[in-house]
Amino acid sequence: MVLRQNDSVLGQLANFAQAEKIPSANFTGMGFVDITFGFFDFETKKYKPRDFKHIELVSMHGTIAWKKGSTSIHAHGVVADKAFQAFGGHILNATVGTGSVEIFIIVHNKQFERTKDDAIGADVLSLD
Amino acid sequence: MVLRQNDSVLGQLANFAQAEKIPSANFTGMGFVDITFGFFDFETKKYKPRDFKHIELVSMHGTIAWKKGSTSIHAHGVVADKAFQAFGGHILNATVGTGSVEIFIIVHNKQFERTKDDAIGADVLSLD
Amino acid sequence: MVLRQNDSVLGQLANFAQAEKIPSANFTGMGFVDITFGFFDFETKKYKPRDFKHIELVSMHGTIAWKKGSTSIHAHGVVADKAFQAFGGHILNATVGTGSVEIFIIVHNKQFERTKDDAIGADVLSLD
């Protein structure tokens, strides 16, 4: 899958999952993006966000699963700036910048479901 | 494979490899961990360790092979702190923190063996 | 694929692609390297390079495609120094350092072609 400028990375992955009705998948990707990472605060159960603009998406990894009929995409990324310093985290949002984003998807034939674990306030992947 | 709080990441991978008697495998993963990286010093032939606590495991990669009948797991990881600054290295130890760790494993049908290369004092993967 | 000291990482990947006549592939890797990253300047259409010596290749990702009969390899990497600080970017060149580099390649049966997109001055992967 090759995304182009202004495409939403998570949005296009969700569109793909729904259009192809895939049971679940793992993916990796790389490219050039504007991205928002979030660090999960287990006390407030919220993500603290930070934006990075015009940055190299060195690598992206994630899982496509389902949650009550909707796609549930969990993606992490490593980015690097002009000085090659690396930052990383849980991806809240990513938009393709100048250039492109190449994504490689491995589709599984078994449905994966995410369910909320109330003890930690976050979604956890279930393989059963 | 989904690991939960306090699970040993490398320990659970070794258990999986032994229980399933897999010839070899590659894996990727992500989650939230306490982790110890080690930088190999080729003069002393020892790893200099450093611990990172309560940190996002942005990505993990590795290979499962065998060495004289025991599992030999080589894993690298990238982590990021609350400010999304990234650190990385060779994983000596990792324990699942609050949350979970999702691991995606590709099993190969050919046995891989690691043997010690005395010239460098480190194990090297052999595909033959 | 296991590379040893002084091997060129991109060179060996290109040799493999040509010798095996693979239509296309994705790969991941890790090891110990001397590496040159480049940050693409969309104004000058050139990469600004920076060298990192004797450094851990925490992870490498990429795609092998073709461009007018020659291999076209796009690779990104994350490296970490003795203090485990991470850097990353687009790989211009990488040579195996003391130790080795393990590369895991997934070969696809469909030919991928890269073509230059004049609007951005960079190559873009085409899946059609």
Tens-place pLDDT, residues C66-81: 999 999 999 999 999 9
Kindly tell me if the per-residue pLDDT of C128 is higher than 80. Answer: no
What pLDDT score does B41 carry?
86
Q: CB under 8 Å to B44, separation ≥6 — which residues? A: none
pLDDT digits (tens, 9 = 90+) for A11-31: 999 999 999 999 999 999 999
Q: How far apart are CA C63 and CA C67, in angstroms?
A: 13
Predicted TM-score (pTM) of the model is 0.94
- pLDDT band for position B97 (50/70/90)? very high
Residue with more model confidence, B60 or B43: B60
What pLDDT score does B102 carry?
94
Contact state of C85 with B87 under an 8 Å Cβ cutoff: yes
What letter does residue B23 receive in the DSSP assignment? S
Which residue of B39, B42, B122 is in closest CB contact with C84? B39
> Which of A92-101, B60-69, C104-113, C114-123 has the least mean pLDDT?
C114-123
pLDDT digits (tens, 9 = 90+) for B31-48: 999 999 999 888 888 999
B8 close to B94: Cβ distance less than 8 angstroms? yes
Three-state secondary structure along chain A? CEEECCCEHHHHHHHHHHHHCCCEEEEEEEEEEEEEEEEEECCCCEEEEEEEEEEEEEEEEEEEEEECCEEEEEEEEEEECCCCEEEEEEEEEEEEEEEEEEEEEEEECCCCEEEEECCCCEEEEECC
Among A64, A116, A120, A126, the residue to mutate for chain B (most B Cβ within 10 A):
A120
What letter does residue B13 receive in the DSSP assignment? H
What letter does residue B21 receive in the DSSP assignment? T
What pLDDT score does C73 carry?
96
Average confidence (pLDDT) over A71-99? 96
- pLDDT band for position C58 (50/70/90)? very high
Kindly tell me if the per-residue pLDDT of A99 is higher than 80. Answer: yes
Residue C39 in contact with partner chain A when CB distance is under 8 A? yes
Residue C6 in contact with partner chain B when CB distance is under 8 A? no
Query: Which phi and psi angles does C20 have, rounded to 5°?
Result: -90, -5
Amino acid at A16: F
All residues of chain B having their beta carbon less than 8 Å from the beta carbon of residue C100 are 117, 124-125
Among A3, A59, A61, A96, the residue to mutate for chain C (most C Cβ within 10 A):
A59
Kindly tell me if the per-residue pLDDT of B128 is higher than 90. Answer: no
All residues of chain C having their beta carbon less than 8 Å from the beta carbon of residue B47 are none
What pLDDT score does B127 carry?
81
Cα angle B32, B35, B40 (rounded to 5 degrees) comes to 140
- pLDDT band for position C42 (50/70/90)? confident
Kindly tell me if the per-residue pLDDT of C8 is higher than 80. Answer: yes
ipTM given for this complex:
0.92
